Structure 1
């Protein structure tokens, strides 16, 4: 044991028990994990060796409360590994992940512990449990039965091996994607080839070059650099170069993920077979609203049937526009077929022509700070929450903003962290996470510590951070997840907040995006960063009209990702030897653009090969059905109608995973969701 106190193993003597980031040294994590695992083992041993007959309290509740120190250390460490990583943190992750996997197996494969859990489970009808207690008991029992507790010894041993390998492989997959992203930069010494690029994007690229002690401009594969480049740069060859670099991340390069993909898919399949399931997708979907791969594919094909004709019309319209536009410009060669590196560029020009609207016109009205305040005001009007910036909460990076969230009566609701800008040690994309769950212990309602992480354009010397409209909806999306965490009000850690079925978890995030299209909401925060002028009504009308622009293509794209996911996880993948060839068999049904042989989606598809969306990517589209259907109530009653918001909070947001999500949804809506609202909103039916 180290002589120096390890802050990770002490009671956090901080404001609201928040993580003491400034006191934590990277080298302390390994000791902290080892000690916390041993502490958690002792807690499990105390349950297992209890001489008193098993009860709901001394077995199920005790099991849910165990490992609290380990959970907090894990949440801090793995959030850093995503948002502020480096070589040392990644090394530690590789060391501790197999230990955590082994410890998880030691619990679920502990025969004596399972015997106690099973005894309580089999007497559940005599226990007079309420709904939340019944759900917890069901969940704890299934965590054993679905993870090998009923296997014979040699199969348990193999399960341990598989889980250890998977923990390493998924980590390596993510490290490779991040390394491949960081390894590429497009360096241009003068701006002669940057015609079309907005000044704000050029300024950001110049500042990045200066930070790297280079002349000119540097563009990267981080979204705030990549997206404006692909959307506005006139030089088609440069767009092609950047697009191909993005599409080939971790594919046939020094960070190649092909073997990792094949091994992950094969091991997940073997694991499912060991546990008695046909495929990994069958295993996963048993605990989802969709229930079976067949239901997912039926759902996906149903939308595909309606979306593909619209997508083909969208593609033809865009291609014809591009051919005509290119013929009138001074491009070196005419366009005969639309390519992937043309998509964003010509879509932006077509949108401007059709709706007299583009991102550069809108961005001045979406200053980041105003959008954040707008999200806070929406939460205040709907749920009575107020957000007070605080310097009392320790941060893991200077960019992070911290807030104390209060209820209407002034009591603490939660602590909120917001981390908005890209940097070298931060993976691309946007996500919500937490450093502490909500739960009740000793009659005290422990409030959550919630975080959202995004990658928006940083302020420059002359301009604040101005968001594209897509980035505005991204912020609201992640903030919707955050509200799900903040408004949690359950007894048990494992049922709290976003601990719900994964095809239900996107409902709170996606429904909040709807407010970004509503005049009443936009007028709160969409103000010109220089004049403070409220966004003109005509712009709002154009945003609403443009909402369905190219929606057929967008729907097809999202369906293709879900189908690719199911193609890896809904079959026996042992016959797949070529990642790219397999991917093509899936995308042939959905891809209208010519294939690029050097590009591969699977090798950088972090959602399914590193994140938690394996056999679950369809849930984004599934949740769109839920959110379109649910938002109909707000549209009928008023988007800030407090009684509707309270009903949504009481029946969905506060309940976490305490009941089957369809029961919760029907309690709010009065009926099961219908696909009609989504198809109508997307313009796929009239």
Structure 2
């Protein structure tokens, strides 16, 4: 196949999407896009209208999207392919530069501005006005109105930030692959679930070592931090993870500081006081001051409950150890689990026998069928790695799109969970979606068994998925992932609520393997979980708020502080943290959300809590009427999911809830009242 990344028709053949095609396919995409743009660029001003300018611009770069979305996916899930990382790095800066140049082009801007200013004369419909406004804002924030010298600076900074972000990601991926803790005596792993110990044994064998090897992937790190009775091993694993990308060849320290500096300079060039004001201008929070006020407001409401949670942890450690030692960072998950077992007799590992990958996916599919009449049909197609599954998705026999599920960690795959698109929807073209997680992989029996937290993770990512699939997306700008970033987590986070509903547990248990039902979670176990639902909720709330606070402080105040970055973070988040008597590094060098890209969670980690306020408020209506109530489900589908980015986020929420959001529902649900 001459140009494999241009594949349009499914099933895609990923086996031919190799590194040697990346540069040639991206160059061809540039050529096609430039031809499209030239037609707009040379159009006389008196001929300009919505269709031949705004819509034409919207579709002009689809060839580049088609190619790069596939390349970007594979860079995250198959970065171990020969030559792939080098080829990706060779094009990512060029792509950023190309896109930046489009929205900095004063001639294109002049034509868009004409439609924007004369929208009434063009008799535009509401969705056409919306697209025009979004396009106009893209040019304004892209620097199209800047003088030539400032514009060149702006473009150069944007390109450099993109390159540094990719270096950040590459360093993290490589460092995680090479970092592990060696254990020879199995007794040191006392308390760790046997499935995790089996993974450690397998990891050691793959590394041609004796004993056990604990890599720093999330399932392994969490297993040790939560269950390992050996305090010294917990400390060693914590300190090893804490050093990831902090020293040596893969140190991200300079990348972080350089990105922060460049972002601030970009903001000043474009006429904003801070990068937060620049990034948040078109989001629900509107500016950095409002975002900080939001974080600090939730902090104040949470503080006294957080102090009680910390006190309980401290008391429990004293009871268990017989000493009055202060809490250490490697103690928290361990003693949280002990308290949970003491107070609620709840062992999270008990859920794994009921939650395997097949029946959890079945449960998700059944939930979406009951809520939105959506069905998933599995098909055998070529995939990029063993274990990846593919489904076509329909609603009332109408094709909505397709999705690949890549659920388990492996070498060359970046950490975390996320949802992506590899074919952009527009008009009648439906999306090709991907759900990527790094959940506990299959054990010796070949079956993956999930914790309840992991079930939540999968429901969360599938919330993004259903948003993408149900959004009508007449234009690419109207796709679900284009909504305001402090709104984008509403459809995902709200789905986590269904993982606490007994009706959903019962659905999952009815999935059949070899003709036998998997088994419904017993009422006694479910009741234990529900009693423990608000357990340590203030601690978990404060942990997320600390990340939001750190993010905003880094972008608003770090550079002018003159302090080492870890000292600065420790000081500004002091009231959000447990007062440990040992020093540790911050997580800033591995914080993908903040440094992967500019238009993501940079200055916007608060978005998780913002969206949680939205979803708690929205879910109250489901609880009042019923979690599968047709009227409420239809209203959420039409007002929130179906519109995608075709209406502003605040309008979408008001249309569903009938009013602006209120944080009371979140605090009530978490027992913090």
Does the pair score TM above 0.5? yes
Residues 1:339 and 2:328 aligned together? yes
Show the 5 A alignment for 1:214-229.
214-229=209-224
Alpha-carbon separation, structure 2, partners of 1:186 and 1:260: 26
2:523 to 529, 537, 541: 537
Are 1:116 and 2:111 counterparts?
yes
1:511-660 paired onto structure 2 within 5 Å: 511-526=494-509, 532-571=518-557, 573-576=559-562, 578-594=564-580, 596-611=582-597, 612-660=600-648
Decide which of 146, 151, 160 is 1:156's aligned counterpart: 151
What does the per-residue CA deviation read over 1:198-251, in whole Å, with 9 as the maximum and x for residues that have no partner? 111111211222233322221110011111111111110110011111122111
2:353 to 359, 364, 367: 364
Deviation at residue 490 of structure 1 after TM alignment: 2.5
**Which residue of the partner structure matches residue 291 of structure 1?**
286
Structure 1 residues without counterparts, runs of 5 or longer: 328-333
Q: Is the 8 A contact 2:18 2:84 kept in 1?
A: no
Q: Which shifted more, 531-540 or 137-146? A: 531-540
Deviation at 1:19, TM superposition (A): 3.0
Q: CA deviation at 1:78?
A: 0.8
2:28 to 17, 29, 35: 35
Query: In structure 2, what is the Cα distance between the partners aligned to 1:122 and 1:595?
Result: 60
Mean Cα deviation higher: 179-188 or 151-160? 179-188
Distance 1:382 1:490 in 2: 20
Does the residue aligned with 1:406 lie in a helix, a strand or coil?
strand
Counterpart pick for 1:48 among 32, 37, 41: 41
- Mapped partners of 1:678, 1:93: distance in 2: 42
Alignment partners' CA distance in 1, 2:517 and 2:432 = 36
CA distance in 2, matches of 1:73, 1:19: 12
Shift of 1:298: 1.5
Partner deviation per Cα, 1:277-309 (whole Å, 9 max, x = no partner): 010000011111011212112111111011111
Alpha-carbon distance between aligned partners in 2 of 1:20 and 1:148, rounded to the nearest angstrom: 39
- How many residues of Structure 1 are paired with residues of Structure 2 in the alignment? 666
Cα distance in 2 for residues equivalent to 1:569 and 1:19: 40
- Alignment counterpart, residue 251 of structure 2, candidates 245, 250, 256: 256
* Cα deviation, residue 598, structure 1: 4.2
Whole-angstrom distance in 2 between the partners of 1:509 and 1:232: 29
CA 1:569 to 1:251, structure 2 compared with 1: closer, same or farther past 3 Å? same
1:85 and 2:93 correspond:
no
Q: Structure 1's 595 and 285: CA in aligned 2 closer, same or farther, altered over 3 A?
A: farther
1:151-173 CA-partner distances (Å, limit 9, x unpaired):
11110111121112111111111
How far apart in 1 are the matches of 2:118 and 2:480? 28
What aligned pairs does 1:497-512 form with structure 2 within 5 A after superposition? 497-512=480-495
CA offsets per residue over residues 455-483 of structure 1, 9 Å max, x none? 11111213621111111100000000000
| 1:482 paired residue number | 465
What are the within-5 Å matches in structure 2 for residues 249-398 of structure 1?
Answer: 249-327=244-322, 334=323, 336-391=325-380, 393-398=381-386
Alignment of 1:413-428 (within 5 A): 413-428=400-415
Q: 1:252 to 1:207 in 2, by over 3 A?
A: closer
Q: Which runs of 4+ in 1 moved over 6 A?
A: 527-531
Deviates more, 1:426-435 or 1:359-368: 359-368
Provide, for residues 596-625 of structure 1, a one-character-per-residue CA deviation record: whole Å limited to 9, x for no partner: 534221111110111420011000000010
- Structure 2 vs 1, CA of residues 574 and 39 (structure 1 numbering), >3 Å: closer, same or farther? farther
Segment of structure 1 superposing worse, 214-223 or 268-277? 214-223
| Structure 2 contact 463–494 (Cα < 8 Å) conserved | yes
In 1, Cα distance between the equivalents of 2:29 and 2:561? Answer: 41
Cα distance in structure 1, aligned partners of 2:476 and 2:518 = 44
Contact 1:279 1:572 in 2 (8 A): no
Q: TM-score, normalised on structure 2?
A: 0.96
Q: Unaligned stretches of 5+ in structure 2?
A: none
Q: What SS class does the counterpart of residue 47 from structure 2 fall into?
A: coil
Query: d(CA) in 2 for partners of 1:418 and 1:79?
Result: 12
Q: Distance in 1 between matches of 2:588 and 2:359?
A: 37
Corresponding residue number in structure 1 for 2:15 = 22
Residues 392-448 of structure 1 show CA distances to partners (whole Å, capped at 9, x for unaligned) of: x3311122110111212x2212111100110111111100111112211xxxx2111
Structure-2 residue corresponding to 1:58 = 52
Secondary structure, counterpart of 2:318 in structure 1 = helix
Q: Shift of the alpha carbon at 1:630?
A: 0.3
Root-mean-square deviation (CA, aligned residues, Å) is: 1.7
Partners of 2:226 and 2:337 within 8 A in 1? yes
Per-residue deviation at 1:638? Answer: 0.7
Distance change in 2, residues 1:595/1:119 (3 Å): farther
Query: Which deviates further from its counterpart, 583-592 or 282-291?
Result: 583-592
Match of 1:75 in 2: 69
Deviation digits for residues 624-662 of structure 1, max 9, x if unmatched? 100000001111111111221111011110111111111
Contact 1:19–1:76 (Cα < 8 Å) also in 2:
no
Check conservation: 1:404, 1:416, Cα contact below 8 A.
yes
